[in-house]
Chain A
Amino acid sequence: MYLKELTELSGVSGYEKRVREFIKDKIKDRVSHIEEDVLGNLIARKEGKTDKRIMLCAHMDEVGFIVSNIEDDGKLCIMPLGGIDPKVVVGKRVTVGEKEIPGVIGYKAIHLQRGDVYTPPKMDEIRVDIGVTKKSDAEGKVRIGDFVAFSVESMVHGDWFSGKALDNRGGCSILIDIINNNIELYYDTYFVFSVQEELGLRGAGISAEKINPDFSIVVETTTSGDNPEFSSYRRSTELGKGPAITFAHSGYVIDERLFKWIIDTAKEHNIPYQIKRRTAGGTDARRIATTLAGIPSAVISIPARYIHSPMSVLNLEDYNNTLRLISILLTKEVQL
């Protein structure tokens, strides 16, 4: 499991290099083939018993920002890359650009906010402070177009894990574990670590087109909502109840046969699982499914709290059960 290392890396959508390099290093000696494509997707392959193909997909990118302007006082204007709620950005440490310059996102002190305390900030007013007082000092360190990633130390708390980018370093870690665990794969298995999922599922489709698998499983980290402000009927998943199996989400209904295959396998092997209840949000499955002549796809996710914020939480039991479930699925045949 590489959750701590993966989540601490900066890999904002469109700037996934550091994550890709890390993953490559961990798997290159365990796969028969590895390559990178034009957009930066990392594709690895391990042979199975048949030559039918399955594609496993986990996106490497996390939500973050891009430096859009440098003001005269040296502060950086930023725009979001991916869906970020402006309510989560205040008072956070960030890392900017190739030189990994540290910065903080501050905000007007509460004492100075008149009626505005409960008004969400607009991204236009958010600034990154890298500790300089004029533009020329900033220009020596950062540039317009640099990425801005949240900088958060991850922590293990017994069965719990907290940190940023659990969406979707959780999925990436699962894929690495599968590769390194040397399972007896039934199908020819392609492991795709995709890019730019948060910007509209942009990376996975081109890999799917190249690979043309018979079917795919997207491994994600998904929303929960299991907290005291949310009544049970509004929740999506609950932590501690096992991997979440999606039946439908934005833009795609999961292939029924795959769905049943997954549930039956979980039941047969006594792996706790849950059905993901809400259909808001989408995954690479939609893009993969609508590639070429159509590729039936499924989604299995690790439930997590507060995704798309710099501080998310997941349960390591759920992580392990997700890994177990997928590992077993990969040894079996499915009738499509």
Chain B
Amino acid sequence: MLTDLLERLSSIDGPSGYERDVIECMRKEAGMIPGVFTEVDILGNFIVRKEGKGKKIALFAHADEIGFVLTRREEGNYWRFSTIGGIDPKAIISQRLKIYTRDGDIAWGIVGMIEPHLQTDEGREKVPSLDDLFLDVVEGGERVNTGDIGVFSSKPFSLSEKYFTGKALDNRASCATLLYTLELLNNFTSKSDLFFVFNIREEDGSPGAKTSAYRLKPDLSIVLDVTHGDISIPSMPKIETGKGPALGVGPVIDYGYLEKLKNLADKISVSYQLEPINGRSGTDTDLIQITRGGIPTLLLSLPLRYMHTPYEVVNIRDIEETARLLSYFLARGGE
């Protein structure tokens, strides 16, 4: 069940640089799929290989999420903190954070907001920055230390029949899509040699994607990430949830392979949307394309609402359709 998988993946905590538990989870999930080999490379990327003759195609979905790190102890149980990845302070206020101590215990901290009555006039007009925010470690204050890592503690759930919400859907929804694609591929004999890479540290500038692409030397690489859904951005088409994957088009995308993908989508009735990218995409695609002698790249993005907040929202159908499109594409050897 896709929602069960999403719930499992969203519930695991793995901010950039601390993906161990997520990689373990991926390993378990992949373990249930027959006919594949798995490995973890030197930096920690998790790779599932489905052998086949033909082009070498590598798919990437980053497995890390945004997070927090404790930076300085203040009086009492208060701490200052920093973020891993870009997080809007508005999304951090009044949240309960789950903190992993050095010994692997859990501690809990509240990012508190002074009530309106005590705020000054100028305080009211401004959202506090990370320098002004503080973490009230209500449980485990004696056990936490500088450098301990935290995550949002929001629990994932089905928002409605079609929509799912929770933390880290950027990019666990894409990880789920890749796993689902692998399942669907069981029904095909693949015309390509496939590598599914669940890479680490995208939020840290993609060293995971770059180095695994370097090692694998694929003929084609396909990156799965998320993009902003259901919001109007000036001069951009509105990418909507429920309308299928957004296919990137622009200099970081291989036009030839994009045409093939679009034709296939039309043929098997998978709806898709085009997302123009003027320059770099801000995803793993950018570094992969210019690794080694250059690698043709495609970018498929799941439309996602409220990116980098504790309750991101995706449409289940989009995951299903993206996996369907990918499984056909891969089975046909990227044609």
Residues of A in contact with B (beta carbons under 8 Å apart): 73, 83-85, 87-88, 90-93, 102-113, 117-121, 129-133, 153, 155, 157-158, 160, 162, 223, 225-230, 234, 236, 278, 280-281, 305-311, 313
Min Cβ gap A265→B in Å is 28
- Report B-chain residues with C-beta under 8 Å of the C-beta of A117: 88-90, 127
B113 within 8 A of A: yes
B114 touches A225 (CB 8 A): yes
Task: Determine the residue in chain B with the shortest Cβ distance to A158.
Answer: B139
A109 touches B228 (CB 8 A): yes
Min Cβ gap A152→B in Å is 8
- Report B-chain residues with C-beta under 8 Å of the C-beta of A112: 228, 231, 233
Residues of B in contact with A (beta carbons under 8 Å apart): 74-76, 78, 80, 86-96, 108, 110-119, 124-129, 132, 134, 136, 138-140, 152, 154-155, 157-163, 165, 228, 230-231, 233, 241-242, 282, 305-313
A113-B112 contact, Cβ under 8 Å, with A90-B309, A92-B311, A280-B118: no
| B91, B116, B140, most chain A CB atoms within 10 A | B116
How distant is the Cα of A32 from the Cα of B311 in the complex, in angstroms? 47
B88 touches A306 (CB 8 A): no
How distant is the Cα of A102 from the Cα of B241 in the complex, in angstroms? 19
Task: Determine the residue in chain B with the shortest Cβ distance to A236.
Answer: B118
How distant is the Cα of A313 from the Cα of B135 in the complex, in angstroms? 12
- Report A-chain residues with C-beta under 8 Å of the C-beta of B128: 87, 229
A162 touches B96 (CB 8 A): yes
B138 touches A313 (CB 8 A): yes
B162 touches A227 (CB 8 A): no
- Report A-chain residues with C-beta under 8 Å of the C-beta of B231: 108-109, 112
B114 touches A306 (CB 8 A): yes
The one of B115, B126, B155, B159 that contacts A307, using a Cβ cutoff of 8 Å: B115
How distant is the Cα of A158 from the Cα of B143 in the complex, in angstroms? 14
Would you call the interface of chain A mostly helix, strand, loop, or mixed? loop
The one of B86, B124, B241, B312 that contacts A111, using a Cβ cutoff of 8 Å: B86
How distant is the Cα of A89 from the Cα of B129 in the complex, in angstroms? 16
The one of A73, A130, A228, A311 that contacts B94, using a Cβ cutoff of 8 Å: A311
B134 touches A229 (CB 8 A): yes
Excluding A109-B88, A118-B129, A130-B160, 20 further A-B contacts by CB distance (< 8 Å) are: A85-B119, A87-B90, A87-B127, A91-B90, A91-B92, A91-B309, A102-B159, A106-B311, A109-B308, A111-B228, A120-B124, A131-B158, A133-B241, A155-B108, A162-B96, A162-B110, A226-B76, A234-B118, A306-B114, A311-B95
A93 touches B311 (CB 8 A): yes
A91-B132 contact, Cβ under 8 Å, with A229-B114, A305-B112: no
Task: Determine the residue in chain A with the shortest Cβ distance to B118.
Answer: A225
A88 touches B113 (CB 8 A): yes
The one of A87, A131, A226, A227 that contacts B159, using a Cβ cutoff of 8 Å: A131
How distant is the Cα of A155 from the Cα of B110 in the complex, in angstroms? 11
- Report B-chain residues with C-beta under 8 Å of the C-beta of A157: 108, 138-140
- Report B-chain residues with C-beta under 8 Å of the C-beta of A133: 162, 241-242
How distant is the Cα of A225 from the Cα of B159 in the complex, in angstroms? 35
Min Cβ gap A274→B in Å is 16
- Report A-chain residues with C-beta under 8 Å of the C-beta of B157: 102
B230 touches A73 (CB 8 A): yes
Q: Can you identify 13 A-B contacts, CB atoms within 8 angstroms?
A: A85-B113, A102-B159, A106-B311, A110-B308, A112-B233, A129-B306, A131-B158, A131-B162, A131-B313, A158-B139, A227-B78, A228-B74, A305-B112
B95 touches A129 (CB 8 A): no
B313 touches A129 (CB 8 A): yes
A93-B113 contact, Cβ under 8 Å, with A106-B313, A132-B160, A160-B139: no
- Report A-chain residues with C-beta under 8 Å of the C-beta of B129: 118
Task: Determine the residue in chain B with the shortest Cβ distance to A309.
Answer: B94
How distant is the Cα of A87 from the Cα of B132 in the complex, in angstroms? 14
A131 touches B242 (CB 8 A): no
A106 touches B118 (CB 8 A): no
- Report A-chain residues with C-beta under 8 Å of the C-beta of B282: 111
Task: Determine the residue in chain B with the shortest Cβ distance to A239.
Answer: B76
How distant is the Cα of A129 from the Cα of B92 in the complex, in angstroms? 19
How distant is the Cα of A230 from the Cα of B241 in the complex, in angstroms? 43
The one of B80, B94, B125, B241 that contacts A92, using a Cβ cutoff of 8 Å: B94
A90 touches B91 (CB 8 A): yes
Min Cβ gap A138→B in Å is 10
How distant is the Cα of A113 from the Cα of B282 in the complex, in angstroms? 16
A107-B165 contact, Cβ under 8 Å, with A102-B157, A236-B118, A311-B110: no
How distant is the Cα of A88 from the Cα of B162 in the complex, in angstroms? 28
- Report A-chain residues with C-beta under 8 Å of the C-beta of B155: 153
Min Cβ gap A127→B in Å is 10
A104-B311 contact, Cβ under 8 Å, with A120-B126, A227-B78, A229-B134: yes
B112 touches A107 (CB 8 A): no
How distant is the Cα of A223 from the Cα of B78 in the complex, in angstroms? 17
